[in-house]
Structure 1
Amino acid sequence: MNNNEITFKDEYGNLVVIMTDVVQLFKKYQQLLPTTPESAGVLIGERRGRHIVITDISIPGKGDSCSRYQVDRKGEHHQKKVDEAFIKSNKTKHYLGEWHTHPEKYPIPSSLDYNSWSKIDASNGNIVFIIVGQENMWLSTKTKSSFNLFNEVTLE
């Protein structure tokens, strides 16, 4: 993964931009060693028309349950981070979705991932889902009940 922002594009021209600070955090949590547990958090940022800009994320912390092949984001700090970003940005930054890692080079969602995501309400706009792998990142948005896959980006 490079040190710059990353832009994803779908077949309709919709963009999801991941800012540099977020890319750096994703790099920190990649499961590159056999002992590294899965990590997860929420995505925070702005909707700019039909485009999405991810400016921050929450990271694993107290209350979360992490193992090599599973993560359960239970900590209250995730919601607190969203609330603080909303207030500090004068209501321009919001919850945008979820991220987590997989211990595989080219991550793909599991049935557990899809089951969990299907419970998230996307009636107020696209929800972004990111899986950070060892060499690649998977990204999709969900609108109501359908998923829209974005182009993959190779991590350096």
Structure 2
Amino acid sequence: MDKTEITYTDDNGHLVVIMPGVVERLLSYRQISPVSLEAAGVLIGERRENHVVIHAISEPGPGDVRTRSTVVRKGRHHQALVNKLHHASGGTMNYLGEWHTHPERFPSPSNTDKTSWQREIMSEELMILIIVGQSAMWCGKKLGRTTSALKAC
């Protein structure tokens, strides 16, 4: 995977664009080593009509609980960053969803992921979900109670 912009699309042609700096930060958390811990954070960016642009992420920090195969995002810094960027952008930057890593080459959502997303991500707006693997990323969308994979462009 390059450290360039990555774009995903759904069946309706709606785009999710992950800006280069975000791609670079996400890739920095790949669990390449056998002792690498799972990482997680939130996605922050803007909605442009039917499209989403991810400009920033929160990163693991104080309060988060991390093991090789689990992560619990508990740190207050995640929400603090959303609040800061929302205010600084005049309200255009918002919480868009979540990201985390998996210690596998080509990741896909686990049953734990699916259950967690159903329980914890409640929004009538489109939410984006990213799983960073060792060689690829999985990107999906959640709208209401339905979660589906997006296709890389």
Shorter chain as denominator, the TM-score bin is over 0.9
- For structure 1, the 5+ residue unaligned runs are none
Q: Tell me if 1:121 matches 2:122.
A: yes
Q: Deviations over 1:26-49 (max 9, x none)?
A: 111000110100000000000000
CA distance in 2, matches of 1:110, 1:152: 20
Kindly state the Cα deviation for residue 152 of structure 1 after the two structures are TM-superposed: 4.2
Q: Which amino acid aligns with 2:148?
A: N
CA distance in 2, matches of 1:101, 1:127: 17
Kindly state the Cα deviation for residue 148 of structure 1 after the two structures are TM-superposed: 2.5
CA distance in 1, matches of 2:3, 2:137: 15
Alignment of 1:1-156 (within 5 A): 1-119=1-119, 120-123=121-124, 125-152=125-152
CA RMSD of aligned residues (A): 0.9
Percent of aligned pairs with the same amino acid:
47
CA distance in 1, matches of 2:32, 2:12: 33
SS at 1:13 equivalent: coil
CA distance in 1, matches of 2:90, 2:81: 14
CA distance in 1, matches of 2:32, 2:19: 22
SS at 2:151 equivalent: coil
CA distance in 2, matches of 1:44, 1:11: 23
CA distance in 2, matches of 1:42, 1:91: 17
Structure 1 segments of 4+ aligned residues over 3 angstroms from their partners:
none
Contact 2:6 2:152 survives alignment (8 Å): no
Contact 1:46 1:92 survives alignment (8 Å): yes
CA distance in 1, matches of 2:3, 2:143: 30
If the length of structure 2 is used for normalisation, what is the TM-score?
Answer: 0.97
CA distance in 2, matches of 1:110, 1:39: 15
What is the number of residues matched between the two proteins?
A: 152
- For structure 2, the 5+ residue unaligned runs are none
CA distance in 2, matches of 1:152, 1:114: 21
CA distance in 2, matches of 1:131, 1:122: 20
If the length of structure 1 is used for normalisation, what is the TM-score?
Answer: 0.95
